[in-house]
Amino acid sequence: MNLIILVSIVISQLVFQYFYFEKYYVNKRAEVLKGSSNEFSSLISSNKPMEEIYQNIENINKKNNVAVSLRDNSLNDIISIPNYRGSALIEIKSGNKRYKIILQGYPEELLFNQGDDIKVTGNINEFGYVYPIKIYKNGEIVEREYNINPNKNIKDSSVIQWKIDKDSQVTTLEGEIISKELEDKSYFKNNLEFNNKILNDKSVIRSITDNYENTLKILLDSKEEILVYTKKYNGGIIVAITPLAQLKEVLGVINDYYIFVFIVIIALVGIISFKYSKFISKPLISMSKKARNISNCNFEGEYKVTSEDEIGLLGESLNLISKNLERTLKELKEANIKLTRDMNNQKLQEEKRKELIANISHELKTPITIIQGNINGLKNGIYTEKIYNDIQEETIRLNELVMEMLQISKLESPNFRLKEEPFDLCGAFYSVNDKLRNLIKEKNLKVIIEDDEEAIVFGDEKRIKEVISNLYTNSIKYTPQGNEIKIKIYLLEDEEKYMFDIENFGVVLSEEELSNIWDPFYRGEKSRNRKFGGTGLGLSIVKKILECHHSDFGVERGGNKVKFYFTLNSCKEY
């Protein structure tokens, strides 16, 4: 397909060249002629010095290969460049002035170089051009290759047209060559051939003089074609001439070029097609391999995208599919793991629920059984103070149990909200300490307190007092007679939180007891006797309250001691 497109382009260019290129080229050159004529007419209308006009005519010729001139109605020259200006010349500086020495008849390319010392004797025209009679280079005379007569005005462009003023004096100049210009006769060649043509072909003269503006293609005697543009100007005619010889040369070169290009293109297309097929198939093979890996749930590695075309987009889509499938499978695996974990948690919760019901049943059964036995005693007429005390004690215990269960239920409710505000943690502790002073005294315990003067924290003061009361009460209950309890309240190093820890000695906890200590109805003693009292819900309530405060809390054991601790956010504004 690519080859067909390329061949079509080449054939189209050949057709364009055969039918339209010559006409296109001639029209473009006609535009150049017209532009050069307009530039020349503006120049001669500006009344500038003749030397500047000559210089601009030369610039037009060099830039556009166009010879412009102003002629009368008989097509004789009025303004055109004197042909001596097309000769090779050297420029010397003599004193503060520069002079251009005409080298017609001298082998300028071989004999004269920039920097040579020159002495010249000759005639100077008004524009600073010197026709030399004798030239000395570095003190030695330079011989001419041939001599010319400067006063002879002839049509041959190879001879200088130079008119010497009868009153002009022969001048001698000395200086150093500062520049060198080679011969350029293109302007005079075009003018000369045109002059010869109009001398022999009156129809050309009529065609020019009868029209205000005209463009002619003229075949010269040398079989070369020139393009001529003429326009009437202030009683004269501006003539602009450009050769068309280059056109045939260009067409011939282009024909040879296209044949060569056509052969080269066919070879290149063949090579490129082979390489391109390799280039196309290689990424397709890579994508096929990647697709097989995806089908086998192997998502390692990515297809390397090396282009932004359709194949590159396809590769990016394949990578995207791979990533999405990998992510989806990963999420599915994680979901399965989470589901398994949730099922295990649900199973564990169900077991805990059954255990909780069993514990509640047990906790309720014991006081109910005692109360029921005492009531039976009352029915049988047994009235003692112990029976009344037992009924009262068990009733109080049942009330505590129900109230603590209600409190846990309240803490677990999604509608539960803490009443958080700044308060002094040290003050809260001392308030609890005062209430438990008698229990401490009964067991002859030594309490060591290390605290700051004040520890302003942010939280629910009432609930934190419950936490301190539970932890402190447990420490008092489980610490043997005469041992010590150590309490510390201090600011952590980052000064963002306060730490409260309570450590009691003479107590040993097993690993199992340590891991279950926060569970409802769990008590450290092995048998569920009533030695230490309590409902077994205290630490469970502590856990719930501290979780609501987002506290870092826990329990540690070591040797014959146990330490409970928790943190609260400090309140810096106070």
Sign of CA dihedral 318, 324, 327, 333: negative
Does residue 156 register a pLDDT over 50? no
Distance separating alpha carbons of residues 79 and 72, to the nearest angstrom: 10
Distance separating alpha carbons of residues 485 and 404, to the nearest angstrom: 26
Greater model confidence, 164 or 379: 379
Output the average pLDDT for the chain: 77
Distance separating alpha carbons of residues 255 and 244, to the nearest angstrom: 17
Distance separating alpha carbons of residues 37 and 406, to the nearest angstrom: 113
Does residue 361 register a pLDDT over 80? no
For range 534-544, the mean pLDDT:
78
Per-residue pLDDT tens over the stretch 259-273: 777 788 778 777 877
Q: Are 505 and 483 in contact (CB under 8 A)?
A: yes
Residue 423 tokens read as 């308060």
Query: Residue 370 has what pLDDT?
Result: 74
Amino acid identity for residue 438 in this structure: N
Per-residue pLDDT tens over the stretch 385-394: 877 777 787 7
Q: How many CB atoms lie within 10 A of CB 173?
A: 19
pTM (whole model) above 0.75: no
* 81: phi then psi, degrees, rounded to nearest 5: -75, 130
Strands 140-141 and 77-79: unpaired
Distance separating alpha carbons of residues 461 and 422, to the nearest angstrom: 8
Q: Are 475 and 565 in contact (CB under 8 A)?
A: no
Query: Residue 71 has what pLDDT?
Result: 85
Per-residue pLDDT tens over the stretch 407-462: 767 766 777 788 889 999 999 999 999 988 988 998 899 999 998 878 899 999 98
Query: Residue 157 has what pLDDT?
Result: 35
Q: Are 571 and 422 in contact (CB under 8 A)?
A: yes
Q: Are 558 and 493 in contact (CB under 8 A)?
A: no
Does residue 40 register a pLDDT over 80? yes
Residue 11 tokens read as 């054939």
Strands 129-137 and 497-505: unpaired
